[in-house]
Amino acid sequence: MSDESTPLPGDADALSETEPRQSGDEPVADGPPAGISADQARLALRRVKDPELNLNIVDLGLIYDVQVEDGTVRVDMSLTSPGCPSGPEIMGEAEQQLRGLPGVTDVVMNLIWSPPWSPERIEPRVRAYMGF
């Protein structure tokens, strides 16, 4: 008679995490899951500069929200004004930087105007540097 708490040889459920797995067993994840975080996406967006101000769009406060789900990065952003002549260039560069990240399968850029951008959205240290 077998004790139910004693694993039988070959019982896959009985393998402890310290025992090596044999081929054919379920794979064990090594490290964190593949993909990127919203913070990593924001770091990539810091490489995008407003060509007129020569400051990155994150410090300028143009990035309102970044969400990452299943390899899709969604960005809500604004521009300094609706008539910003550099708008298409800035948004295109932002999308290009995000698409270049490992694990990104799609990028959705949402241009929003509410709430409207104002100098108060600029990173405080940058705002002080600019004299605002």
User: Which domains can be identified in the chain, with CATH numbers?
Assistant: 33-127 (3.30.300.130)
Q: What percent of the chain has pLDDT over 70?
A: 74
pLDDT tens for 38-67 read 999 999 999 999 999 899 999 999 999 999
**Residue 44 CB burial class (10 angstroms; 0-12, 13-18, ≥19):** buried
Residue 113 confidence class, pLDDT cut points 50, 70, 90: very high
- Whether the CB-CB separation of 67 and 73 falls below 8 Å is answered with yes
- In whole angstroms, give the CA distance from residue 52 to residue 16: 59
pTM for the whole structure? 0.72
Task: Say if strands 72-77 and 55-56 run parallel, antiparallel, or are unpaired.
Answer: unpaired
Q: Residue 130 has what pLDDT? A: 84
